[in-house]
Amino acid sequence: MVPALAISGGLHVLLVIVLLWGADFTSDAKPTPKAGRSIEATVIDPAVVNAQAQKIRAQRDQAKREEAERLKRLEQQAKRLEQQREQEEQRLREVKRKKLEAERQAREEQKRIAEEQAKAKEQARLAKQQAEQAERERQRKLEQQRKAELAAEKAEKARQEKLAAERKAEAERQRKLEAKRKAEEQALKEAEQARKEAEQARKEAERRAEEAKRQQQEQEAALNDLFSGLESEASQRQSARGQFVDDEVARYGAIFTQMIQQRLIVDDGLSGQECVVNMRLSPTGLLLNVEQKAGNSRLCRATKTAVASVSQFPMPDDGDIIAKLRDIELTVRPN
């Protein structure tokens, strides 16, 4: 801006000088002749004077025109310089404005960069915090997974142990069922054998009774006069019948005891112990009731369980024997 002002001032000074130089300071007044001197007159041709005057006027007019043209050019040059000065000032103002704008933008950019850096720093801090939180969460989940896997392993081990125990228990149950089935089959065989033997004994007793009756009839036919002898023979027959019934009751009692012992489940600690129970049966051998009468309590509990597992006992056809078997006491000892 300072050079433009200097140029403008110089142009104005130059214009003033030109104007002063082109001014007409000549005068038409003729010089007054000095007194006391003689005047020498020279004849001058008026035409020459006019021509000279016109020439001088023409030169002066030409000079004025040239000066006017020069002043016009100077004014135009001054205007151009002024326009250039104004343009330069406008350019400088625009440069200053752009500089200020650039500085403002630079400050705003610095502020934006600082804010972005602060934001990035905060985001980095938050990202680090989130990463640390995520890592802690991952470690927590890994720990939970490890505990879950350990728990699953323990559960699987417990399940396998339970399955093994169940398989063992099932095998033991199957073994006992098989033993029970075999014992029942054996008991049924033995009961059937006992029934057959009892039936044979009954038939043998009936045969003997029939034989005795036949012999008695023969004796009665031969000894009609011995009435007292007949009474004695009848007493013998009654005694033989009672002995037969007692023998059959004892034999069936042994069968019942054997059936109970086959179903008896006890440990070796009860070896040598015994239990006395009373059983009440139906005419067909169904168990109605069983009671402990004497003996070891543990053995008696096992005996009652074994009696209940038999449920039905074989019975003979003889009513006298059935009557005694319906209320019978048995002594059970572990084999």
Is the model more confident about 226 or about 183? 183
Q: What is the DSSP letter of 33?
A: P
Per-range mean pLDDT, top range of 57-61, 123-127, 178-182, 215-219: 57-61
- For position 31, what pLDDT does the model report? 46
pTM of the predicted protein model: 0.33
State the CATH architecture for 263-332.
Answer: 2-Layer Sandwich (3.30)
Mean pLDDT score of the chain: 79
Burial class (CB in 10 A: 0-12, 13-18, 19+), 125: exposed
Region 165-190 average pLDDT: 73
User: Which of the residue ranges 100-109, 198-207, 306-315 would you say has the lowest mean pLDDT?
Assistant: 198-207
Backbone angles phi, psi at 334, to 5 degrees: -60, 140
Region 269-294 average pLDDT: 91
What tokens appear for 70 in the block? 């020069």
Are 198 and 248 in contact, with CB atoms under 8 Å apart? yes
* Three-state DSSP class for residue 263: coil
Phi-psi region of 295 (alpha: psi -120 to 50; beta: other; left: phi over 0): left
Pick the closest to residue 20 from 84, 81, 67 (CA basis). 67
- For position 26, what pLDDT does the model report? 45
Tell me the per-residue pLDDT of 206-252, one tens digit each, with 9 for 90 and over: 676 577 567 767 766 665 655 555 555 555 566 678 899 999 999 99
Q: Where are the domains of the chain?
A: 63-143+162-221, 263-332
Region 39-66 average pLDDT: 82
